[in-house]
Amino acid sequence: MASYIAWYGKKRDRLRQIEHDFIDLLRTAPNLSTLAKVAELLRSAHIRALKARREYLSPCEKNTEAFQNRTREIQQWTNLPVEAII
């Protein structure tokens, strides 16, 4: 099926939900280990959403810069320490 385009909305919705939960946890000030776990979930959700956005780009020369930007953003989120997220 050459004309099939996958829908990645579930990843974006999941990212929004995790961000909302993370903000709620920051307001209630739980222990640091709980915040670290949720921050790690937030990081992985961001990476999944960025990979999904990158998949929408067609493999052509005009999208090379956008593809590299998405890859750079993924690398930044991968290298971001949990303390910086918190």
Whether 30 is in a domain gets the answer yes
Q: Provide the domain limits for residue 74.
A: 9-85
Q: What is the pLDDT of residue 38?
A: 87
Q: How many domains does the chain have?
A: 1
Tell me the pTM: 0.77
Q: Considering the domain boundaries, does residue 17 fall inside one?
A: yes
Look at residue 2 and tell me if it is in a domain: no
Q: Is residue 58 part of a domain?
A: yes
Please spell the DSSP secondary structure of 20-84, one letter per residue: HHHHHHHHH---HHHHHHHHHHHHHHHHHHHHHHHHTS-SSGGGHHHHHHHHHHHHHHHH--HHH
Q: What is the mean pLDDT of residues 59-84?
A: 87
Residue 6: pLDDT band with limits 50, 70, 90: low
User: Residue 11 gets which letter from DSSP?
Assistant: H
